[in-house]
A and B are shown apart, each in its own frame.
Chain A
Amino acid sequence: MTDRARPSYWHGEKAASDRPTGSRGRKLDIFLQLTLNGLAVGCIYGLVALGFVLIYKATELVNFAQGDLLMLGAFVCYMAVVWWGLDYWLSFLIAVLAVAAFGALLDAVLLRRVIGQPQFAVVMLTIGLGAVFRTFASVTWGSEIYTLPTPFGGVTRIAGVTISHQYLSIIVGTLILCSVLYGFFNHTRIGVAMQATSQNQLAAYYMGIPVKRIFSMIWAISAGVATAAGVLLAPVTLIDINMGLAVALKAFAAAVLGGFGSIPGALVGGIVIGLIELYAGATLPDGFKDTAPYIVLLVMLVVRPQGLFGTPGRKKV
């Protein structure tokens, strides 16, 4: 992934001086720049989509408040950095832990009760929760636009391509987060138990797996991942109470594109949506930036309704 973001002459034989000059070289630079930024934005969509998918796979609930959890996370980090004057990394950690705990609490007191209720009840409940979070944020932190000071202010110029550290930090952060999650789900007892619970809830009960606690933990992970996405995204979009809305909608599209229920699908879907968005924004007329991802999604749903990584709909008997 990172290799593609780098200029092709990164690997030696072509020195920076004898690269093609003029408009072709310029176009290539812009293209690489767009790719890098698209990857970064896509990573954010992917992370939020991952949150959707984790919760959906385990509890069959669709959490439309995922984007607002991202917003809450960004605000908590902002509060820790600016109000309390804490170190950026410490604040990052505090935000992730605080919102993760909040996610677990949300499940334990509220969402556990709607499992098995009609999907519409759940959809309305989570949309309503999102509105409540936004109101809470505007009351607590105010409704202006805030800038989160980060250590990623600089840029690196590699052979004419400007790599902003903000975007790079998103990509690197996503890679780290995904490998941690991958290791957790595949190599720890609780992680495998989470997979087991998602696959067969009743059998998980029979194994003595505390299913309800597992659900709360999955909510905590989803909320924590959303927070990480929010904090990473904060320097790019700035923090305001509506920052989660647009992200969540695109992330939802990403989850569907990847085949709702597939974790790699969510990440790949996010990156695809992010890239399309930036390419379309640069090459197509105004307004296509925001519609192009949905057009692609629409085509995708007609051609391959189960999504990129989904399995064709089969109901287990």
Chain B
Amino acid sequence: MSEPILKVSNLETYYGPIMAIRGVSFEVPTGSIVTILGANGAGKTTVLKTACGVMDPQKGSVTFEGREIQRMDPDKVMRLGISHVPEGREVFPFLSVRENLRMGAYTRKDPDGVAQDLETVFGYFPVLKERADQRAGSLSGGEQQMLAISRALMARPRLMLLDEPSLGLSPKLVKEIFDIVLRINRERGVTILLVEQNANMALQTAEFGYVLEVGRIVMADTCARLLQKEDIKEFYLGIKDEGARGQRRWKKRKTWR
């Protein structure tokens, strides 16, 4: 692990007057899976949106492979090699599954490679092959998530930003999708930045994790160690060692130690 593929430093992003990201810095080493955990409204999605150019930061920088990309248009960022799987899938509802996948490869000029990758993603998600000529809007939520991931993969990205892939899916499907994410990382060498509320799944898949609270990173460690921390266990995994009746709950504070 040499240069980090993505480096974010002192990022500050606003929604109008509201400061959503309050000086966030983190790194994603090349070839790794890094996760950002956080509750609703912590700013996870905003971090990804700023990284991929949909939102412009007020301050700070985003560096991808040594190149500053903040304030770039999202389609240009994508051409550099960053694919974004947005929250809520965002497939093209009236295009067929196959057309959706082809749109993922819009920026590519090698038809043979595209055809080959189409077979690869059909290999990952055989259900997409069965439904290749169906409208994407008629797929189930899980199938749409598979499609969104496959579509992002069709661009042959070097970095993939995954925003809540587990949203609204059954535990079995979540497991299936995370297995594929792991395979994509291992087999194709795609670096993955994963944003999740499903902390358990995310920490088991990723190598390194950051915890985001109200726009700030409050904890950063390897996932193995994060899994052992008391605060993570209590607030993200819902495991409590003591106080089964929750008497201590009212005065328990997060200490981030």
Contact = CB atoms under 8 A, between A and B. Distances in A.
Contacts of B75: 205, 207-211
Contacts of A203: 86, 90-92
A202 interface: yes
B158 interface: no
B52 A192 contact: no
Contacts of B104: 207
Most B-side CB within 10 Å, residue of A192, A195, A200, A203: A203
Interface in A200-222: 200, 202-211
Contacts of A193: 103, 106
Contacts of A11: none
Contact of B54 (A200, A205, A208, A209): A205
B168 interface: no
B53 to A, nearest CB: 8
Interface in A157-189: 189
Contacts of A209: 75, 103, 106
Given A196-B92, A207-B106, A208-B155, A202 B54 contact: yes
A135 interface: no
A208 B95 contact: no
Nearest to A192: B99
Contacts of A204: 92, 103
Contact of A206 (B86, B94, B102): B86
Contact of A195 (B83, B95, B107): B95
Interface residues of B, number: 26
Contacts of B95: 192, 195-196, 199
A205 B83 CA distance: 10
A56 to B, nearest CB: 16
A207 B157 CA distance: 11
Contacts of B92: 195-196, 199-200, 203-204
Nearest to B99: A192
Interface in B98-143: 99-100, 102-104, 106-107
Contacts of B103: 192-193, 196, 204, 207, 209
Nearest to A213: B75
A199 B93 contact: yes
B79 interface: yes
A209 B74 CA distance: 9
B216 interface: no
Contacts of B94: 195, 199
A200 B93 contact: yes
Nearest to B161: A206
Interface in B131-167: 151-152, 155
Most B-side CB within 10 Å, residue of A203, A206, A210: A206
Given A192-B102, A192-B103, A207 B93 contact: no
18 contacts: A189-B102, A192-B99, A193-B103, A195-B92, A199-B94, A200-B91, A200-B93, A203-B86, A203-B92, A204-B103, A205-B74, A206-B52, A206-B86, A207-B104, A207-B151, A207-B155, A208-B79, A209-B106
Interface of B: 52, 54, 73-75, 78-79, 83-84, 86, 90-95, 99-100, 102-104, 106-107, 151-152, 155
Given A200-B93, A206-B74, 20 more contacts: A189-B106, A192-B102, A193-B106, A196-B95, A196-B103, A200-B91, A200-B92, A202-B86, A202-B90, A203-B91, A204-B103, A205-B54, A205-B75, A207-B103, A207-B104, A207-B106, A207-B151, A208-B155, A209-B106, A210-B75
